[in-house]
Structure 1
């Protein structure tokens, strides 16, 4: 038995190893996963060995031989301690559905060989559930039908979504079936709140659902280009608190893209809801509605280019919405003639019909390098590809189905999604630079070969077990994808003609954040994000190295890595898109891929990138501009002159979970000697550095014309105030507010562990708020500060109703309100805990300069990541394969 080590072992034991249902069976000598820090947002777990047990109390040797006293309830007790044990379980489970005992014996042996040494890495749900539970689904993600346009229909969809997420599946849905904002609802003599508003309900519920105790739900919301709410949908995340727990994508048609190219008008339309058949017939399919001769109302007419540019601007600004070319998707889809694609799953790699599912596993390409030939081991790769198709086909018969509709749909089409990981590592071994012209030629050969082998395998299974029930030979081969496949590989068309085919679709390219990190290779089809990064442990940030890069450095001391060692940010955005397009040719579903762009990437360059993706045949595109943000920003609605005078401006973009970019701080930033000019420079530097985290989604800055020329109130040696204890999504916060001349003048925040990113960001927010409060003599400062901090939210919240706290910034606003009222009216959990005197000499004399020093300290971290991981709290959450993934702990929002 070979146990994993380090981070790989922690991921394996936490997420995929089979576990005892009750940890009370633990005894001395057992290996456990101990919860060292019980925090909803940033739990800390360590692998350890039980030294002794006394009733409920346990002594565990964890980490660096540290003895930790804990309790039974804080332990996870794994049954499986090594991948070999998991592979045995999975091979037996997948072979168990074979029809005869000899077949079960044959395929258990082959599946075990397939899984050995991580040649095939099963999707997370398969690894965790197959052979371990009759309750957990083996499918990663689902698409539910568009909600029926009624309160009952919406609630039914909400219930379905909740049930799926509670069992570990992510959900995608298209909201185009819901009538637009202010449309008449005759039954209640009122008007609709609109599709985007109802999307907020789905988003909010997603944030409440824990999946297996380790991750929250994943949700994709989509809207078609003809819907009257399209502009609201595109810009919704610029309004605080809207759709914070959902990924958004706009579905664009070829007709729309042609209208953009020709600068034509575009009509925003919706069916006539007064039609007597509306409730029964309308499903969100506009083409089907029109084919019935039904009336369609035009709500608005805009230039197609205006809508397109708004999409581009929003994507440039905040990485959302993504774009899916849905009409193209359906033209290429093998299910075009019986099951149209209505949405993608949350990570975008699989377009699905209503009640469709993702059935995922990935071949680890790094295992197929033949060092002797300095080439791919094509024979072994072909064999493993063929066996993998049968493995995934068997998942369809092994998984439990919690919805009859899912079972009927999946067994009708038998959709599977075989993908890859380790591509970047394989290219490095072959000394081919990712994104180069040479790599594009190689990728066409590699993925064409795998698609051919996969399709031939599916035809062989069909000859033995039968084709998928909805198979129509004449229509099937007329899909856009099959025309290309048969043109390149005529033997595939011949085999389908003889045998039929077992699966409607076979290939997809999913993100593999958790599994790829566990295995220790590059995730999905992405390049390495970095060859060096930092991981937070109980000892602080530890430098981590990508093995293949470190091995080269060890063999070549002092030398620079060769050109073919390339990271995501070293590639041009066009390299990313051209790589995606080269692989897309051989993918019958879709690809989860992010085009990383530098911070200075312009809106015009973004537009060209999207156009290039469309021209090259991609089914969708998502960009991430370094420094852009994934959550909502303050709305920029026009205000009156008086309001503008009172307005405290906010930073332009907000991160969902964010750390600091190393190059954010200008080289001309104020030094400790520039005290005469510090306040004005500090505010500019803080604005440009865009300090933010999930709990600190905005950095408040003073309006220059209003505040910067007003006198700075010097702090006396002693101030008195109150400390407020509040629970926040990032843990307990102690917020001290001290008064000067009867009004709040400074705020101190203590949240999280000293040295953590949360602690630093909380301190930064407190200092900037203090600076704002002590500058100028505007009488409404506190009210303005409350106005612009209150309601700021991230991906989670604590409490309900008036007790609800959205973020640390929201907690500060509530504390300021309490401080002004003097009592905690209706907010029992937010009551002041004590009064205390404050005497902080250092803060009194060096506040502004210290803010700049704090920024410089944080920005000195050489790791160029942007986001905080909601699992481990490290500043190592990155956008890969269209999904948020942590390179530290392996957390993935999609897996």
Structure 2
């Protein structure tokens, strides 16, 4: 019988009450408060909030952990657990554990991530649809999901159905992606990882799928690359693809030029930050769970951000250690790292993680009870029930945990060590080595009291490289593990900590600081006559911009006698940053090869994997991306993500005015001949009482042309308000004259075309628009185009109003001090987005998404 959840506290708080109390808790940090209230405060389905501040949440979690502890010897008390997790200072349960532990209002899992799939031999429609259904069932319980597509037969293969030949991988990528987009998770969208082996004949189609606008938008994609392929790339030799993949008796095989496919991967990653790379032989050879592959623990894919490789139906719960909290006297000459306290807390964190597995098993029992109680037919419920029974078996047998870290960048800065330096790499590697030894020691000690995970077999693990490194570092630990076993099959990861780091008020995960100083925007109340207005968006909302100091940068300022309340000029800010340990140690400053080297060194002490992003400036060439990938493989990384500035929209930029790349300004950066079809943004705005609409044709996400005029009247264009994108198509009318049509897809999936934009707008508007479009097409930077439009001397009042509208429509593409992006946060509509650890995180509301 399932364990019943305890009743929650009856007192409730309004959203505003919880927010105001939490702002005080976070010492005035309204972003941290908003994240906590929106994502983690205990609430029911009616929106009633039952926790006023994170203090209440930490008591809730501590109470449940202590309840599990009482089942075993030498239990930790509720007070002891609370002291470890309070104030987000030392031990921080992440995501699902934070929201779900002790939550009676939600029938959900405590797992952050899952992998599903099959034995690699089933590619029937039934098997493929079963995975689709399992994916949806997991996402509705708040989980991120990964699965591999290497089992699907390649395009053109014979099948015994009416199609006669297989459609290949890509249509199923789209199916799984669409399913992800359809599942809501308390205001956010689910996260999905799709992977495929480089050995699969359809891998090139897989790699290209996301390059087509609007395709596979609900998934991250990664290629599993084996050592043989990497050697073929390095030696410029051929590589054999097969189906079934790596089969000794394949039904189909072909030789390809490894270098040609490699360049395709590199180009797409340079252009769009995908596909990600998984060095699969390194993943498998280093994997401790794969010592039990024949017992169902063969790793097949990863979770959406790549930090947890998993076998089918296994899952993992995440917890982060706040590294900065172990720096004594930070930002002073006497700064030091408290290794004794750190190792003590890592041991207790591992014990808490094991307790959370017991809580997860209770949650799964509740899910199974809910399925049994549902009124649907048993046939309908069968897949969901079998799914959770499989997940329960894996959690019970393997007891996998996911201890990670956050604040690596702040830890190094607090110690006066430059991130990315040789000293920084050595110190970080030592930290993660000590973390691994302390966590494995705790798992062995817990096995003495509670028993080893049920399939533990030291003989199976004796040649595993990770286990052998533990043996070399601590022989007593190794021989104790032989005698007592280990409580958990695998223990460690370095996961993204986007929203977690907002609440710890530190740098994220293993990443360096993104920026020590940046700008944020605050919407101005229209009734506030004294407010300063720095920016007006396309819908007419006014915003004030203000400088934000990274929390630990402010701590450095205080430690070194700098006034944190002063209104600094940009020149003064630059001088401050130059004096600080954050100088030339931001994500855009750190030497790229150094970051790869650091990831490879740290990976040796992480039994799962690492989620990390290598940030590159916009003007780097594709060759550099290829060299970084090769270096990552040779350094022993299990995976790598490269992000080139501007290759995805939504990137926070510095407080300084963004300097234009001269290479982007020269004529010819756009196609000399206008493509027949262009992706287009639709922008609506209001000038005085007039409603306007703009159609902005895009090439590489940059404005290539713009046409705009009155909307919603007999002289203008009328399209539904929900239409915000479509295509501008260049056609010819019956007289052979050029015309521009706008096409969009309606809610029933049919295409609707508005013929002849030139006939819909005032001719004078149209002629000026053609002139402005010409300047865009010939490479003039957008800010210069805006200056040109503003300088036009026009007598016609309507034309002046139109001029203002064009400026407002184009300004959304200018690096304006906050963002160089047209992408907005799906939660709060802000454009203050930053790309780290494979995820976009909003700096205004804290919402994050992967992929």
For the aligned pair, the TM-score class normalised by the smaller chain equals: 0.7 to 0.9
| Alignment correspondent of 1:152 | 126
C-alpha separation in 1, matches of 2:435 and 2:644: 32
| Alignment correspondent of 1:239 | 212
| Alignment correspondent of 1:57 | none
1:415 matches 2:400: yes
SS of the counterpart of 1:238? coil
**How many residue pairs end up in the alignment?**
704
1:117 matches 2:87: yes
Q: Of 255, 277, 283, which aligns to 1:301?
A: 255
SS of the counterpart of 2:829? coil
C-alpha separation in 2, matches of 1:591 and 1:333: 13
C-alpha separation in 2, matches of 1:154 and 1:846: 55
Contact 1:461 1:501 in 2 (8 A): yes
1:545-584 → structure 2 map (5 Å cutoff): 545-553=549-557, 555-556=561-562, 558=572, 559-561=575-577, 562=579, 564-565=581-582, 566-584=585-603
C-alpha separation in 1, matches of 2:556 and 2:680: 36
Question: Which deviations, in whole Å up to 9, do the C-alpha atoms of 1:807-851 show, x marking residues without a partner?
Answer: xxxxxx745599999xxxxxxxxxxxxxxxxx9946747978985
C-alpha separation in 1, matches of 2:301 and 2:709: 57
C-alpha separation in 2, matches of 1:693 and 1:363: 43
1:326 matches 2:350: no
TM-score (norm 2): 0.75
Q: Of 92, 99, 102, which aligns to 1:131?
A: 102
| Alignment correspondent of 1:8 | 32
C-alpha separation in 1, matches of 2:358 and 2:670: 62
SS of the counterpart of 2:615? strand
Q: Of 334, 337, 350, which aligns to 1:389?
A: 350
| Alignment correspondent of 1:351 | 309
| Alignment correspondent of 1:194 | 168
| Alignment correspondent of 2:341 | 380
C-alpha separation in 2, matches of 1:227 and 1:393: 38
Distance 1:260 1:9, change over 3 A: same
Contact 1:140 1:170 in 2 (8 A): yes
Question: Which deviations, in whole Å up to 9, do the C-alpha atoms of 1:673-728 show, x marking residues without a partner?
Answer: xxxxx9999999x99xx99989999963699xxx99xxx99999xx9624425243
Distance 1:694 1:614, change over 3 A: farther
Contact 2:652 2:834 in 1 (8 A): no
C-alpha separation in 1, matches of 2:812 and 2:272: 26
Q: Of 449, 461, 465, which aligns to 1:464?
A: 449
1:661-676 → structure 2 map (5 Å cutoff): 663=658, 665=660
C-alpha separation in 2, matches of 1:695 and 1:386: 54
Shift of 1:664: 6.9
Contact 2:518 2:653 in 1 (8 A): no
C-alpha separation in 1, matches of 2:329 and 2:310: 39
Which deviates more from structure 2 when the two are superposed, residues 359-368 or residues 185-194? Answer: 185-194
SS of the counterpart of 1:114? helix
SS of the counterpart of 1:420? strand
SS of the counterpart of 1:801? coil
Question: Which deviations, in whole Å up to 9, do the C-alpha atoms of 1:602-632 show, x marking residues without a partner?
Answer: 1111111001101110000110001113xxx
Contact 2:319 2:403 in 1 (8 A): yes
C-alpha separation in 2, matches of 1:409 and 1:520: 35
SS of the counterpart of 1:506? coil
| Alignment correspondent of 1:257 | 230
Distance 1:576 1:848, change over 3 A: farther
Distance 1:668 1:513, change over 3 A: closer
Contact 1:682 1:849 in 2 (8 A): no
C-alpha separation in 2, matches of 1:155 and 1:302: 31
Contact 2:346 2:439 in 1 (8 A): yes
Shift of 1:99: 5.1
Contact 1:95 1:108 in 2 (8 A): yes
Contact 2:680 2:698 in 1 (8 A): no
| Alignment correspondent of 2:626 | 607
Q: Of 41, 45, 55, which aligns to 1:17?
A: 41
Shift of 1:308: 1.2
| Alignment correspondent of 1:869 | 825
Contact 1:534 1:888 in 2 (8 A): no
| Alignment correspondent of 1:35 | none
Shift of 1:479: 1.4
Contact 2:407 2:507 in 1 (8 A): yes
Distance 1:663 1:371, change over 3 A: closer
Distance 1:669 1:396, change over 3 A: closer
Shift of 1:456: 0.2
Distance 1:683 1:488, change over 3 A: same
C-alpha separation in 1, matches of 2:669 and 2:452: 69
Shift of 1:864: 5.5
SS of the counterpart of 1:177? coil
| Alignment correspondent of 1:883 | 839
1:143 matches 2:115: yes
SS of the counterpart of 1:323? strand
C-alpha separation in 2, matches of 1:714 and 1:244: 28
Q: Of 502, 510, 519, which aligns to 2:495?
A: 510
| Alignment correspondent of 1:55 | none
Shift of 1:356: 1.4
Contact 2:147 2:195 in 1 (8 A): yes
Shift of 1:490: 2.1
C-alpha separation in 2, matches of 1:81 and 1:184: 61
TM-score (norm 1): 0.72
| Alignment correspondent of 2:381 | none
1:306-317 → structure 2 map (5 Å cutoff): 306-317=260-271
| Alignment correspondent of 1:726 | 720
SS of the counterpart of 1:191? coil
Distance 1:842 1:875, change over 3 A: farther
Shift of 1:658: 6.8
| Alignment correspondent of 1:203 | 177
Question: Which deviations, in whole Å up to 9, do the C-alpha atoms of 1:718-756 show, x marking residues without a partner?
Answer: x9624425243xxxx6xxxxxxxxxxxxxxxxx7xxxxx
C-alpha separation in 1, matches of 2:169 and 2:196: 9
C-alpha separation in 1, matches of 2:669 and 2:161: 59
SS of the counterpart of 2:515? coil
Shift of 1:18: 0.8
Contact 1:659 1:692 in 2 (8 A): no
Contact 2:299 2:310 in 1 (8 A): yes
| Alignment correspondent of 1:79 | 50
| Alignment correspondent of 2:747 | 799
Distance 1:857 1:21, change over 3 A: closer
C-alpha separation in 2, matches of 1:715 and 1:854: 11
Contact 2:226 2:279 in 1 (8 A): yes
Contact 1:171 1:220 in 2 (8 A): yes
C-alpha separation in 1, matches of 2:500 and 2:586: 20
Distance 1:103 1:817, change over 3 A: farther
| Alignment correspondent of 1:269 | 242
Which deviates more from structure 2 when the two are superposed, residues 859-868 or residues 308-317? Answer: 859-868
Which deviates more from structure 2 when the two are superposed, residues 173-182 or residues 476-485? Answer: 476-485
C-alpha separation in 1, matches of 2:490 and 2:109: 20
